[in-house]
Amino acid sequence: MSKRESNSVRLDKQGVPKVMHIFDYFADSLGMFSLNAISGLVGQLTYFYTDKVGAAAGAIATMFLICKIVDAFTDLIMGHICDSTKPGKEKYRPWLLRAGVPAGIMLVLLFMVPKGANQTIQLIYMCITNLLMTAILYTAISIPYGAIMMIRTPSQEERGVMGTWRAAAGYVSGMVIAVAVIPITNALGGDQSAWIKMGAVFGTLILINMIICWKCSKESAVDRRIISQIKEKKPEEMTDDEYAEHIFSIEQDAADSKLTMLEAIKCLFKSKYWIIWLVVNLFNQITYGLTNSSGTYYCKWIYGNDNLVAILGGIGMIPTIIGFILAMPMIKKLGAVKTLRVSFFLGAVANALRLLNPYDFWYNAILGCICTFATIPPMCVGGVIGGMNIQYNEHKFGARIIARSGSASSFGMKIASGFGASIVGWCLAVANYDPKMTVVTEATKQAIFAFSIYIPLIAFIMMFVFMLRYDLDKVLPEINKDLAERKENRKAKIIAARK
């Protein structure tokens, strides 16, 4: 990068300052790579606990749901901690290091279940390690990390690009786990020791990634060059406009800090757009929870070979690549909201067609590609939709409620993802699943079809229906105009008071 490029102010199509460069996007995306690696491996734990440790499927399902409920409440606490940080201090970035490093270490401990102990001791160990990983460390990373996108850049265009990079990185880690975990652990012996070794590799990678993400993240809502010039000056040395910008920024932070957790939640539940997006994410997380936990069972008992997970993962890379190539053109052509509607419609149709022949590998693999494609654009527009909701919060309530908006939404999503993962265990328990059976029973087949096809079909239909009611994209220009006028009026008063 030339000196001229680094010092010039770049603007997006709306005339908003752009602050991101290629390495910024890459370093930021490593956080999502790590988060998805953690959630992907946690999703594999049902299979690991039942088939490698020998725990009962029903007990595991209930344990996971309890952990997710506790996990969800810690999201609310973490959002309050972030938004309540005193103005002038970094609210979000420090947590990437504080929680990122121990998360890499904790990942290994997830697989070190005392195999010789009785089932009660095993369940206690599983519950404690899952709570520490998901309720404490994962939450302490994900809530601040989600908020960073909103305050890192004021450009919706750059937020969209950040979302695409994050989605791509997250999907790569998810695909690596889907393709590699079963074949690698089988090659290493297929026992608990093999899973521990695999966990150590991913744990080290997560630790390194989070250090890079922390090092390269910034907390500034305007161009770095401009903000650094302002920060170098004392208030009396600033121009009127710089001083007004400085005070206005402090007032914005203070507005968020003044709200109690209860007040913030009340505001959010008065926003129909936040509620719609919450419901959509609930169903979305149920499908993710099912996908992370169900694939190995489907390949092992419906297709007869659990190593086919790797082939399905490889095939799934095709629609993934196509999805990321087409995501931004779709968003530019259709807008974020219509892109989601199209995606959810495709997912519903593909799952419905799987009902015609759920046994044929290639038929389901092709339809699975459509389902995979349908999940890519929603990954890319999450940051854009979140930014729109936060702008609406500021317009309606006078406070952005950044971290608590994400944490309250994540509260429901965590329960939904836990419910999705637990559905797998409960369905298997109802079917009297036996991992040592030599011939799959009809009840087990129907259980697998339920959490692999029936429930995802219902989820896609519900997401499509709810997005038909989301019209914030149509009123957002007027909201932005109002916010800009408020800001200019407030800055004028600050300047007048200064004189």
Predicted pLDDT of residue 294: 80
- Helix (H, G, I), strand (E, B), or coil: what is residue 401? coil
Predicted pLDDT of residue 18: 77
- Burial of residue 93 (CB within 10 Å: 0-12, 13-18, 19+) is buried
- pTM (two decimals): 0.66
Q: Taking Cα atoms as reference points, which of 233, 223, 35, 51 lies closest to residue 134? A: 35
Q: Domain segments of the chain: what residues? A: 16-219, 239-498
Predicted pLDDT of residue 282: 84
CA distances from 268 to 143, 204, 218, 298 (A): 16, 38, 27, 39
- Burial of residue 171 (CB within 10 Å: 0-12, 13-18, 19+) is buried
CA-based end-to-end distance of the chain? 41
Q: What is the pLDDT along the chain (499 residues), one digit of tens a residue?
A: 444 344 456 776 666 677 788 898 999 999 999 998 998 898 888 889 988 888 888 888 888 888 878 887 888 788 878 877 776 567 888 899 999 999 999 999 999 999 888 888 999 999 999 999 988 999 999 888 988 877 787 777 787 788 888 888 887 887 788 778 888 898 899 889 999 999 999 999 999 999 999 988 877 543 334 444 444 556 666 777 777 777 777 777 667 667 777 788 788 888 889 889 888 988 887 887 787 678 888 998 999 888 888 788 778 778 878 888 888 788 878 888 999 999 999 999 999 999 999 999 999 999 999 998 998 888 778 777 877 888 888 888 887 777 777 666 666 666 676 677 678 888 888 899 888 888 889 999 999 999 999 999 999 999 999 999 999 988 888 988 888 888 888 888 888 887 6
Residues found in the chain: 499
Q: What is the 3-state secondary structure (H, E, C) of 276-301?
A: HHHHHHHHHHHHHHHHHHHHHHHHHH
Contacts of 348 (CB under 8 A, 6+ apart): 457, 460, 461, 464
The neighbour count for residue 12, using CB atoms within 10 Å, is 16
Contacts of 160 (CB under 8 A, 6+ apart): 328, 331, 336, 380, 381, 383, 384
- Helix (H, G, I), strand (E, B), or coil: what is residue 151? helix
CA–CA gap between residue 215 and residue 192 (Å, rounded): 35
Predicted pLDDT of residue 466: 95
Q: Are 16 and 154 in contact (CB under 8 A)?
A: yes
Same fold: 16-219 with 239-498: yes
CA distances from 156 to 166, 186, 271, 432, 479 (A): 15, 45, 21, 50, 14
| C-alpha triplet 491, 261, 488: angle, nearest 5° | 10
| CATH tag, 16-219 | 1.20.1250.20
| CATH tag, 239-498 | 1.20.1250.20
DSSP state for residue 44 in the 8-state scheme: T
Predicted pLDDT of residue 6: 43
